[in-house]
């Protein structure tokens, strides 16, 4: 029983993943002091007292004047802390993003906390009666208005502050730059990596690069600024794949291929064969995604056995077909590394081979408040960074540290990375610093490349809040409104709908009659429909594009053009305006053509084919008169006189440029500054499925893909946060910085690249040979210093206006109501009383750290640096870096700081790991002794020793393999089978009595006469 409890408990790490998954002056004119770190402010400068809101500088300003302010000093503010005690916090002129929860909602003079992008308590300014603006420790800018300059403190209540800032105000004649940056010219590929280096990747989920730059310029990302901006190179035009979602992006980042090869196309996988949906974002998601790419270990054995038995009973073709429905066969980066005898080292990641990583749960429990498993998503960054520092660094050539909280906070909190999330980003910077310090202490930093990357950006929060449009319930599900004489006069389509773990049925619809949608809280949705017509009950068989233009949803109604119906939808935005919430509707026309339709910018067709060299080339043509033709296909005609097109390319390119095919690199360059960067290639790569995926396409491809218009997202609930998935620049642009041996410093590359280039770049960086034809991406070379420098680069000045994102104004948030047609559900993952949450909390108790329990009881009021655990951890860290490797390894094996309640049982995971580590330790010592003995005997080894080691290694590996597999099976049983079935069953029973008919008869009102069907949704 003890073992069973222990085992079940260790399963918990799996379960958390579900939670965590649910940013014109000449150079001579520039004064050097602003761009330098240590400028001085004289003692007789202006005093800005911490308890005064505004201080008159006595400086009269005329609009257009260049102004420079330098400041130093400290003020002490009081923030509400633990147990409602006010705690003093010291801040400099830059202010802080480490504000307490209690002040987040306050109205600061310059919107801060949850309301805006400014740091709390920073030095601010205003001219005359103009709006306040950020000043910080240094700023040089051109005044926008005339009047008297005042300086002040960004605090909603200055009365309890003390201390003062000293500020020096000058009029330098011209605006001074904040820093200098080398611009890397296009087409420089002559550099290369140093040999024998490893790589540590900081993967900050959803981080916007423009936010990184602004926060760094404001002095709030000191580590990132030192390592990556001043000490590294920024690839400023890096784009992810479409949709700009975590799962598709991870497939692309870690395989070096697009989704038409790796097959991870959305957050949810819906099977047309079984009508069953599985999410890549749930606890089993990460292992599901790796199994799609390339199964490992026991999964591989099982799959081979299944394929063999299918071959025996049903023949070769059936076996091949079955195998290709299971996996895409595209090798992820870890498979390339394993082929070379290495591996990657990761904590939790959206795509994982070892799930959960052993002992990872304990890193999480260190930070998670007691019995708050439902809030685990707020502590993953700390857990992953801690886990990497303790268990991963220095073990493998590639270490990946995923910091997902930036994305999770952006989704949930007001204004995303222009609000509350800035605290998370500032915290991520601290974690980056901790990891780099550990690398340095271990003596590895000189031979380590560092990478800062995000999988996508975020849309919204800067100038507007987003509104949700419930495509599922307000368009597909909502009842049709019929006049008494049987005419359809409004409402929705009246169809039963499904999302993952969500059913909404109409009375009378059979179990196979529904529309499935993948796309909740997202800028994109993928729509699956029964083939032919809604009542066909047929989900498999050939995709027939013409059917969607003449789709019958009911026997007594004429067929619908689904594309037109979708683009015509209107809804009321939070701003009060009636808008079209749907931007693009994408449909595959044939194996070569994709149709893009809009409400107001016409249609276009992307045509893709292979050129003589076997590379893909693409043509984009605006078309008109899109209509079904007799053979089930859809025809359209070249729109010769088009002035607009769906992707807005005619605004940037001559119409005759669109008459030709171009390769992928050219398309990326042509579209980089458009509203849909890399759109032509990205849409095609998403809508097509290559030969290795043909069986998966038949089972998993949607009929239509729709994207949300600016300011909107698809979802059933309102959120003040920001979203991704869109093809827009802010969502498609990813963060990508490098630093390390031979990497350019203080440089910026504007030449565009894609995240698909990541895997080949990484493999080349750590010295692994590969066949470049295996990848769609190419290894980036322009990040390195060129072998021969022909010209010395001139650093370009960077001004405050280049980094200022101008999001300082407060935004009003008006949440829209949820659809009146939402079904009831008992599944509430954010609640402590959710069934899964209760189970996790009960299971977690054994993972509580003994040292933390000590501290919380003995020192309840102290901050982060806690008594007992702090002492034990720092001693442990010092000893692990001991000069004697045997001492260091022995300390690591014992893992004293990782001691948990469950370790009172000898068979706990912690103790099993200690035994495993001890075996390695003994093996390593005996190897050395055996080597020395053999050396003195004049031979390479003592007979039998290597074989004995191999047998021990094999047994150890086999044990952990089975352990991991069994854990996954238990999660499947507990989480996906038992708990989900209980919840789904309860939902089903409750909603059974709430079902509505698909149509309702309404009395005609004069207003609704002539109103277009289904187009007015609110």
The one segment of 132-140, 318-326, 401-409, 756-764 that binds Zn ion by CB under 5 A:
401-409
**In terms of Cα–Cα distance, which of 220, 342, 349 is closest to 290?**
349
Q: Which is nearer to Zn ion, 455 or 522 (CB)?
A: 455
**In terms of Cα–Cα distance, which of 14, 90, 10, 721 is closest to 413?**
721
Q: Which is nearer to Zn ion, 251 or 628 (CB)?
A: 251
The one segment of 279-287, 407-415, 752-760, 946-954 that binds Zn ion by CB under 5 A:
407-415
**CB of 755 within 8 A of CB of 249?**
yes
Q: Which is nearer to Zn ion, 198 or 246 (CB)?
A: 246
Least distance (Å) between residue 244 CB and Zn ion = 8
Least distance (Å) between residue 250 CB and Zn ion = 8
**DSSP letters for 242-254:** SSB-HHHHHHHHH
Q: Which is nearer to Zn ion, 92 or 243 (CB)?
A: 243
> Quick one: DSSP state of residue 263?
-
Least distance (Å) between residue 429 CB and Zn ion = 19
- Phi and psi for 375 in degrees, rounded to 5? -105, 15
The one segment of 316-324, 406-414, 659-667, 996-1004 that binds Zn ion by CB under 5 A:
406-414
3-state secondary structure 40-63: CCCCCCEEEECCCCEEEEEEEECC
CA–CA separation, 439 vs 356, rounded Å?
24
Q: Which is nearer to Zn ion, 205 or 999 (CB)?
A: 205
Least distance (Å) between residue 612 CB and Zn ion = 38
CA–CA separation, 216 vs 223, rounded Å?
9
Q: Which is nearer to Zn ion, 350 or 837 (CB)?
A: 350
Distances (CA, A) of 356 to 19, 641, 912, 945: 14, 57, 15, 33
Least distance (Å) between residue 121 CB and Zn ion = 31
State the binding string over 447-486 for Zn ion (x if CB under 5 A, else -): --------x-------------------------------
Q: Which is nearer to Zn ion, 593 or 724 (CB)?
A: 724
CA–CA separation, 460 vs 729, rounded Å?
11
CA–CA separation, 505 vs 513, rounded Å?
9
**CB of 629 within 8 A of CB of 639?**
no
CA–CA separation, 164 vs 149, rounded Å?
18
Least distance (Å) between residue 404 CB and Zn ion = 7
Residues listed for the chain: 1018
Q: Which is nearer to Zn ion, 327 or 410 (CB)?
A: 410
The separation between the first and the last C-alpha atoms of the chain, rounded to the nearest angstrom, is: 56
Find tokens 């607009």 and name the residue: 644
Distances (CA, A) of 66 to 30, 41, 176, 584, 992: 12, 19, 8, 45, 69
Least distance (Å) between residue 259 CB and Zn ion = 15
**CB of 154 within 8 A of CB of 112?**
yes
Q: Which is nearer to Zn ion, 193 or 206 (CB)?
A: 206
Q: Taking each helix axis as running N to C, give the angle between helix 12-21 and helix 945-971, from 0 to 180 degrees, rounded to the nearest 10.
A: 60
Q: Which is nearer to Zn ion, 206 or 679 (CB)?
A: 206
Least distance (Å) between residue 285 CB and Zn ion = 13
184 CB contacts (<8 Å, ≥6 apart)? Answer: 233, 744, 747, 748, 749, 750, 751, 782, 793
The one segment of 114-122, 204-212, 308-316, 871-879 that binds Zn ion by CB under 5 A:
204-212
The one segment of 24-32, 241-249, 262-270, 326-334 that binds Zn ion by CB under 5 A:
241-249
Residues 809, 810, 811: CA angle, nearest 5 degrees: 115
Q: Which is nearer to Zn ion, 731 or 967 (CB)?
A: 731
DSSP H stretches of helix in 417-456: 421-441
Q: Which is nearer to Zn ion, 240 or 472 (CB)?
A: 240
**CB of 900 within 8 A of CB of 362?**
yes
Least distance (Å) between residue 456 CB and Zn ion = 6
Least distance (Å) between residue 449 CB and Zn ion = 22
State the binding string over 242-261 for Zn ion (x if CB under 5 A, else -): ----x---------------
CA–CA separation, 977 vs 366, rounded Å?
29
Q: Which is nearer to Zn ion, 155 or 405 (CB)?
A: 405
The dihedral built from the CA positions of residue 219, 220, 226 and 230, taken in this order, carries a sign that is: negative
The one segment of 195-203, 404-412, 442-450, 807-815 that binds Zn ion by CB under 5 A:
404-412
Please state whether the peptide bond connecting residue 250 to the residue before it is cis, i.e. omega within 30 degrees of 0: no
Q: Which of 150, 155, 205, 751 binds Zn ion (CB under 5 A)?
A: 205
- At 925 the three-state DSSP class reads helix
Find tokens 């207003």 and name the residue: 1007
Least distance (Å) between residue 964 CB and Zn ion = 25
Token pair of 775 as six digits: 């990848």
The one segment of 108-116, 119-127, 182-190, 205-213 that binds Zn ion by CB under 5 A:
205-213
| Residue list 211-230, contact with Zn ion (CB under 5 A) | none
- At 337 the three-state DSSP class reads helix
Task: Round the CA-based radius of gyration of the chain to a whole number and report it.
Answer: 30
**Per CB under 5 A, 849 contacts Zn ion:** no
The one segment of 200-208, 394-402, 627-635, 890-898 that binds Zn ion by CB under 5 A:
200-208
**In terms of Cα–Cα distance, which of 4, 840, 21 is closest to 368?**
840
Q: Which is nearer to Zn ion, 168 or 250 (CB)?
A: 250
The one segment of 202-210, 490-498, 606-614, 900-908 that binds Zn ion by CB under 5 A:
202-210
773 CB contacts (<8 Å, ≥6 apart)? Answer: none
Least distance (Å) between residue 246 CB and Zn ion = 3
Q: Which is nearer to Zn ion, 19 or 165 (CB)?
A: 19
Least distance (Å) between residue 734 CB and Zn ion = 10
**CB of 755 within 8 A of CB of 238?**
yes
Least distance (Å) between residue 280 CB and Zn ion = 11
Least distance (Å) between residue 454 CB and Zn ion = 7
Q: Which is nearer to Zn ion, 407 or 520 (CB)?
A: 407
Q: Which is nearer to Zn ion, 65 or 407 (CB)?
A: 407
Least distance (Å) between residue 724 CB and Zn ion = 7
| Count of residues interacting with Zn ion (CB under 5 A) | 5
Buried b (16+ CB within 10 A) or exposed e, 879-905: bbeeeeeeebbbbbbbbebbbbbbbee
The one segment of 260-268, 399-407, 650-658, 811-819 that binds Zn ion by CB under 5 A:
399-407
> Quick one: DSSP state of residue 269?
E
Least distance (Å) between residue 690 CB and Zn ion = 24
State the binding string over 755-794 for Zn ion (x if CB under 5 A, else -): ----------------------------------------
State the binding string over 106-125 for Zn ion (x if CB under 5 A, else -): --------------------
Least distance (Å) between residue 249 CB and Zn ion = 6
How many other CB atoms are found less than 10 A from the CB of residue 770? 18
Q: Which is nearer to Zn ion, 551 or 737 (CB)?
A: 737
CA–CA separation, 86 vs 788, rounded Å?
59
User: In this chain, which residue has its C-beta nearest to Zn ion?
Assistant: 246
Residues that bind Zn ion (CB under 5 A): 205-206, 246, 407, 455
């Amino acid at each position: 029983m003890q073992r069973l409890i222990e085992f079940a408990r260790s399963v918990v790490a799996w379960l958390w993943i579900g939670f965590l998954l649910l940013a014109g002056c000449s150079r001579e004119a520039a004064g050097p002091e602003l761009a330098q770190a240590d400028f001085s402010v004289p003692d007789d400068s202006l005093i800005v007292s911490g308890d005064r809101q505004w201080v008159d500088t006595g400086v009269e300003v005329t609009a257009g004047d260049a102004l420079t302010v330098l400041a130093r000093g400290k003020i002490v503010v009081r923030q509400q802390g633990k147990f409602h005690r006010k705690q003093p916090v010291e801040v400099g002129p830059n202010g802080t993003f480490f504000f307490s929860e209690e002040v987040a909602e306050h109205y600061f003079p310059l919107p801060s906390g949850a309301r805006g992008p400014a740091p709390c308590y920073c030095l601010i300014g205003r001219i005359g009666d103009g709006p306040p603006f950020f000043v910080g420790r240094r700023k040089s800018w051109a005044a926008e208005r005339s009047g008297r300059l005042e300086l002040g403190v960004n605090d909603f209540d200055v009365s309890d502050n003390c201390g003062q800032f000293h500020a020096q105000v000058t009029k330098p004649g011209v605006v001074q730059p904040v820093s200098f940056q080398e611009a890397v010219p296009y087409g420089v590929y002559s550099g290369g990596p140093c040999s024998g280096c490893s790589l540590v990747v900081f993967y900050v989920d959803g981080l916007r690069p423009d936010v990184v730059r602004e926060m760094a310029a404001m002095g709030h990302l000191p580590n990132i600024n030192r390592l990556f901006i001043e000490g590294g190179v920024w690839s400023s035009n890096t784009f992810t794949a479409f949709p700009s979602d975590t799962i598709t992006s991870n497939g692309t980042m870690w395989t070096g291929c697009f989704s038409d090869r790796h097959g991870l196309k959305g957050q949810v996988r819906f099977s047309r064969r079984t009508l069953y949906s599985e999410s890549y974002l749930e606890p089993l998601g990460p292992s599901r995604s790796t199994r799609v790419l390339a199964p490992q270990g026991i999964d591989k054995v099982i799959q081979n056995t299944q394929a063999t038995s299918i071959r025996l009973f049903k023949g070769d073709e059936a076996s091949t077909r079955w195998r290709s429905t299971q996996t895409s066969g595209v090798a992820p980066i870890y498979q390339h590394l394993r082929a070379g005898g290495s591996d990657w080292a990761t904590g939790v990641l959206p795509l994982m081979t070892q799930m959960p990583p052993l002992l990872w749960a304990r890193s999480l429990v260190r930070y998670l408040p007691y019995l708050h498993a439902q809030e685990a998503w707020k502590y993953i960054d700390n857990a992953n960074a801690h886990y990497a520092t303790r268990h991963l660094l220095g073990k493998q050539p590639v270490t990946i540290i995923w910091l997902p909280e930036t994305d999770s906070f952006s989704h949930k909190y007001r204004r995303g990375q222009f609000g509350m999330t800035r605290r998370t980003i500032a915290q991520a910077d601290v974690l980056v610093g901790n990891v780099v310090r550990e690398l340095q202490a271990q003596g590895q930093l000189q031979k380590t490349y560092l990478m800062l990357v995000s999988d996508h950006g975020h849309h919204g929060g800067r100038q507007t809040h987003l509104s949700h449009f419930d495509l599922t319930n307000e368009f597909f599900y909502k009842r049709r409104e019929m006049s008494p004489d049987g005419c359809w006069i409004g409402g929705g389509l009246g169809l039963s709908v499904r999302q993952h773990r969500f059913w909404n049925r109409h009375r009378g619809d059979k179990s196979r009659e529904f529309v499935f949608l993948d796309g909740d809280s997202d800028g994109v949705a993928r729509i699956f429909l029964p083939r032919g017509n809604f009542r066909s009950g047929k989900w498999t068989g050939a995709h027939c594009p013409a059917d969607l233009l003449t789709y019958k949803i009911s026997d007594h109604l004429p067929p619908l053009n689904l594309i037109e119906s979708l683009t015509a939808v209107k809804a009321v935005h939070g701003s009060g305006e009636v808008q079209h919430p749907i931007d693009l509707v994408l449909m595959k026309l044939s194996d070569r053509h994709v149709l893009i339709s809009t409400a107001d910018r016409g249609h276009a067709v992307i045509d893709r084919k292979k050129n003589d060299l076997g590379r893909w080339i693409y043509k984009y043509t605006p078309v008109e008169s899109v209509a079904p033709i007799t053979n089930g296909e859809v025809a359209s005609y070249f729109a010769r006189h088009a002035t607009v097109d769906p992707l807005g390319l005619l605004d940037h390119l001559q119409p005759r440029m669109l008459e030709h095919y171009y390769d992928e690199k050219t398309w990326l360059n042509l579209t980089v500054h458009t509203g849909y960067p890399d759109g032509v290639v990205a849409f095609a790569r998403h809508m097509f499925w290559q030969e290795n995926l043909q069986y998966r396409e038949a089972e998993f491809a949607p009929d239509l893909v729709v994207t949300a218009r600016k300011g909107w997202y698809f979802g059933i609930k309102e959120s003040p946060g920001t979203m991704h998935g869109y093809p827009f620049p802010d969502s498609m642009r990813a963060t990508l910085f490098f630093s390390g041996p031979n990497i350019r410093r203080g440089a910026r590359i504007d030449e565009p690249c894609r995240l698909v280039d990541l895997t080949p770049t990484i493999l080349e960086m750590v010295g692994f040979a590969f066949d470049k034809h295996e990848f769609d991406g190419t290894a980036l070379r322009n990040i390195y210093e060129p072998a021969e420098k022909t010209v010395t680069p001139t650093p370009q000045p960077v001004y405050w206006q280049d980094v200022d994102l101008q999001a300082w104004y407060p935004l009003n948030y008006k949440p829209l109501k949820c659809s009146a047609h939402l079904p009831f559900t008992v599944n509430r993952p954010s609640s402590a009383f959710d069934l899964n949450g209760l189970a996790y909390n009960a299971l977690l108790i054994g993972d509580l750290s003994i040292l933390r329990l000590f501290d919380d009881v003995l020192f309840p009021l102290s901050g982060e640096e806690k008594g007992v655990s702090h002492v034990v951890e720092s001693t442990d860290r010092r000893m692990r870096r001991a000069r004697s490797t045997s001492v260091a390894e022995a300390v690591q094996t014992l893992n004293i700081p990782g001691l948990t309640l469950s370790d009172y049982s000898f068979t706990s995971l912690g103790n099993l790991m200690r035994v495993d580590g001890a075996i390695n330790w003994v093996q390593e010592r005996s190897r050395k002794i055996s080597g020395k003995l053999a050396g003195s005997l004049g031979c390479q080894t003592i007979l039998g020793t290597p074989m004995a080691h191999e047998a021990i290694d094999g047994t150890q590996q086999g044990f952990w393999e089975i352990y991991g597999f069994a854990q996954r099976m238990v999660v499947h049983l507990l989480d996906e089978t038992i708990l989900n079935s209980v919840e789904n069953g309860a939902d089903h029973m409750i909603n059974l009595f709430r079902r509505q008919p698909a149509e309702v008869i309404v009395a005609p009102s004069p207003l609704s006469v002539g109103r277009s069907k289904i187009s007015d949704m609110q």
